[in-house]
C-alpha cells in the first residue's frame, strides 16, 4: 500500500547533472543524512512473499503491535479477507499464507475493496477465479471461502497516484441468511462530509518486524485534515530527495552547487500528495496505523445511534527512503479512499 518516488528521484538526478547555477542558501542539503537504498513491490506479491517467511502471531502476542488489539469474534461481521486461490490446500498455514488484502461485505453478494489489491503491476485486473473471499470469522483459519463471479475496478483508477483506488467483487452466490444482508456495513452517502476525529481500522496486515497476525486486529486512529498528510509527506519527500541527491552526488562526483540547484527546483514545485478522493488518518507518532495486508479493509466511524459506517478503504502510505520498517513512521499518516465520492458508482453496479 505504499507509494514511491522512483520517477521523481530520477528527475532529480537529471537536474543535478544539468549545468550548475547558484542555489538558494536556505533549506539546503548539508543537514540530511544518506540512508541505505529502497525498493518497491506490488502489494499482493509483497504480502504473499512476506508471509512465506514468518510464523503467524496469535492475538495475545500481537496486542501491543502498532497500538492494535485482537478483535472479538463477531465484532466486525462485514470484514472479509482476500486469498490467492492457488493455495495448496485449506490448512491453517495455507489460509494464513494466501491472505493478501481485506475487504468489506456491503451486500449479500458484494465486497468493497481497493483497486490496487486486484490490479497487478502490469495493469491487468485479476481474474475472478484467482481470488477467494473468506467470510464469517476473525481467524484466518476459520470461516467460509467463497468464489467470485466478477471483479470490477473503477474505470478511472490511477495506479501512479493511487487515485480512485476502489473495486467491487461480486460473489459467485449471495450469502444466505434469514436475518438479512449478513454482516453488511453501510457506506457514507454520496458527497457526505467525513467527520474528523475518532475512527477504527481493522485488518490482518503487517506489524512490526514484518510479522503478521492470524487473528483480525483493530486499531483506534483519528481522521485528520488532508493538509496534515500533505505536510508530513512533503517534508519526508524533501528529506528523501536530499538523501538521494547526496548519495548520487558522492558516487558520481557531482558538484555541490548542482545538487543544491536540483534540490531547490524540485522541492519548491511539489504538489499535494492527496487528492480530494482520499482521507488522511492515523496518529502523529505513527504508533497506530494500517500496513501491507490491511489494504482494501475499512476505515469506520461510529454514528450517533451507535452503529458503524464505512467512510474509507485502506489505500496507501509511505515510508522514508531506505527505511527498514514499512509502516509506523512519525508524521506519516495512512491514506484511505474516500468512499462517499463513490456511493453512486457503487449503487449503479449493485443495481446491475
**pLDDT tens, position by position, 122-176:** 899 999 999 999 998 999 899 999 999 999 999 999 999 999 999 999 999 999 8
Is the separation of the CB atoms in 297 and 283 below 8 Å?
no
* C-beta neighbour count of 220 within 10 angstroms: 13
Per residue in 181-204, pLDDT (tens digit) is: 457 899 999 999 999 999 999 998
Residue 169, strand partner residues = 111, 151
**Spans of all domains in the chain:** 43-227+272-351
What percentage of the chain reaches a pLDDT higher than 90? 50
Q: Quickly tell me which residue has 496486515 as its cell.
A: 205
Element (H, E) at 70: strand 69-70
Q: What angle do CA 77, 80, 83 make, to 5 degrees?
A: 160
What pTM was estimated for this model as a whole? 0.83
Say how many residues make up the chain.
352
Domain 43-227+272-351 matching CATH 3.40.50.300: the answer reads no
**pLDDT tens figures, 22-51:** 333 345 555 555 444 333 346 676 666 665
Backbone angles phi, psi at 63, to 5 degrees: -65, -20
- Relative orientation angle of helices 6-16 and 256-267, to the nearest 10 degrees: 140
How far is 58 from 12, CA to CA, in rounded Å? 44
User: Is the CB of residue 34 less than 8 Å from the CB of residue 243?
Assistant: yes
Q: How far apart are CA 183 and CA 78, in angstroms?
A: 4
Grid cell of 313 as nine digits? 478503504
* Residue 200 host element (H or E): strand 197-203
Amino acid at each position: 500500500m505504499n507509494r514511491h518516488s522512483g520517477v521523481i528521484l530520477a528527475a532529480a538526478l537529471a537536474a543535478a547533472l544539468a549545468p550548475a547555477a547558484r542555489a538558494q542558501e536556505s533549506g539546503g542539503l548539508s543537514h540530511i543524512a544518506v540512508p541505505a537504498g529502497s525498493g518497491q513491490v506490488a502489494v499482493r506479491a509483497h504480502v504473499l512473499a512476506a508471509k512465506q517467511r514468518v510464523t503467524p502471531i496469535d492475538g495475545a502476542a500481537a496486542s501491543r503491535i502498532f497500538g492494535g488489539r485482537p478483535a472479538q469474534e463477531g465484532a466486525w461481521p462485514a470484514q472479509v479477507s482476500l486469498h490467492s486461490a492457488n493455495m495448496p490446500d485449506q490448512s491453517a498455514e495455507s489460509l494464513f499464507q494466501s491472505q493478501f488484502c481485506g475487504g468489506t461485505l456491503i451486500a449479500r453478494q458484494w465486497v468493497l475493496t481497493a483497486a490496487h489489491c486486484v490490479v497487478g503491476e502490469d495493469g491487468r485486473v485479476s481474474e475472478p477465479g484467482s481470488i477467494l473471499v473468506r467470510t464469517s470469522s476473525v481467524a484466518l483459519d476459520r470461516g467460509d471461502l467463497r468464489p467470485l463471479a466478477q471483479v470490477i475496478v473503477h474505470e478511472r483508477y490511477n495506479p501512479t497516484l493511487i487515485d480512485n483506488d476502489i473495486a467491487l467483487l461480486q460473489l459467485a452466490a449471495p450469502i444466505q441468511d434469514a436475518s438479512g444482508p449478513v454482516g453488511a456495513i453501510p457506506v457514507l452517502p454520496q458527497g457526505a462530509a467525513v467527520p474528523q476525529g475518532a475512527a477504527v481500522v481493522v485488518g490482518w496486515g503487517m506489524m512490526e518486524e514484518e510479522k503478521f497476525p492470524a487473528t483480525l486486529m483493530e486499531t483506534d486512529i483519528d481522521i485528520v485534515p488532508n493538509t496534515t498528510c500533505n505536510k508530513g509527506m512533503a517534508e519526508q519527500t524533501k528529506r528523501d530527495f536530499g538523501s538521494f541527491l547526496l548519495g548520487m552526488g558522492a558516487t558520481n562526483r557531482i558538484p555541490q552547487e548542482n545538487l543544491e540547484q536540483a534540490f531547490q527546483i524540485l522541492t519548491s514545485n511539489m504538489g499535494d500528495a492527496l487528492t480530494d478522493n482520499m482521507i488522511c488518518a492515523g496518529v502523529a507518532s505513527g504508533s497506530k496505523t494500517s500496513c501491507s495486508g490491511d489494504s482494501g479493509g475499512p476505515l469506520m466511524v461510529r454514528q450517533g445511534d451507535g452503529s458503524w459506517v464505512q467512510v474509507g478503504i485502506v489505500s496507501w502510505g509511505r515510508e522514508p527512503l531506505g527505511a527498514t520498517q514499512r509502516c509506523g513512521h512519525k508524521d506519516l499518516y495512512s491514506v484511505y479512499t474516500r468512499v462517499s465520492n463513490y456511493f453512486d458508482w457503487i449503487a449503479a453496479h449493485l443495481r446491475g
